[in-house]
Amino acid sequence: MRSDHLHPEARLLLDTIEMQGAPPIQTLPPEVARKNVREAGYRMTPEPQPLERVEDRSILGPAGPIPIRIYASENGGVRPGLVYFHGGGWVIGDLDTHDAPCRAIARLSGAVIVAIDYRLAPEHKFPAALEDCETATRWVCSHAVELGIDPHRIAVGGDSAGGNMAAVVAIHCRDTGGPALASQLLIYPVTDLSSFDTPSHREFAEDHYLTRETMNYFTGHYFGKPEDGAHPDASPLLVRDLRNLPPAFVLTAECDPLRDEGEAYARRLEEAGVPITCTRYAGMFHPFFSMPVLTEARRAYQEIAAVLREMRPAAAAASQGTA
């Protein structure tokens, strides 16, 4: 049964998706699920917003080329940068499924957005996707000036599985001495794959798009062995020391199984002295952020754009966190 807390727009969209009669993701082979999600996204996305610069490139990753897409609202000048990792449970999603939010954030913020098309499971098990995301982050930081990015104002971010990897990349950068990141933008992030035992996982286990069965489908494809879920690189909520990480913006959705673990991670960051903003979007479901037909999705783009515009240089952000 669907929650009474659902926003009217969210309820209508869920009803529309249900009436279309598409088979649940977890009943499909990954390649079919990817195709269906991509096509559904095209139907729900307005015409792409024009930008002065949208460029597809590839960089060298641990196992071959990593496709990337660069978005900028204007040419010339040095601006903040965001390395963005799309959601999709490490199994689905690509540069096209998240093209609309990346375009919107680039246009609204003036920042350069670099979206990463990391390797997907089950063809590439944990931690292949994370390796690609970390490699891409280091590449963007080392090529910042070439990309029109201020090297001291680079954030990592992503939604869902992408938010998970953004959090872990930020931890790895801290633990390996850099590069210094100015912020981490975590949009309903997965933070604990060792257990789904939270009130929000129980309350929204079905009927709200992302279900318990879908999460089991994703983790079953992503992990080579069940115990991988308890590894800190899969579950950043289990990392013991979260001090000295870049300031964080955490966005959660009220009617989302992942809500509680995202907010728990925000509390852990705050307790560790990390500057934190945590915003819960009332009445929204997972993955509303990638559905720009929703008013609240467009509001989220504006909020994230404001974070990027106001982002302090990494050195200043670090001193703020230890003051």
**Catalytic residue numbers?**
160, 256, 286
Q: How many Cβ atoms sit within 10 Å of the Cβ of residue 225?
A: 8
Rounded distance between C-alpha atoms, residue 248 and residue 251, angstroms: 10
* 252 Cβ contact partners less than 8 Å away, ≥ 6 residues apart: 188, 258, 259, 262, 263, 278, 279, 280, 281
CA distances (Å), origin 234, targets 8, 237, 264, 295, 306: 34, 9, 16, 32, 29
DSSP character for 251? E
279 strand-pairing partners: 251
* 312 Cβ contact partners less than 8 Å away, ≥ 6 residues apart: 153, 182, 247, 320
Beta strands in the chain (DSSP E): 53-61, 64-72, 79-85, 112-116, 149-159, 183-187, 248-255, 276-285
Q: How many Cβ atoms sit within 10 Å of the Cβ of residue 217?
A: 20
Max CA distance (Å), the chain: 54
Rounded distance between C-alpha atoms, residue 284 and residue 281, angstroms: 6
Q: Is 39 helix (H, G, I), strand (E, B) or coil?
A: helix
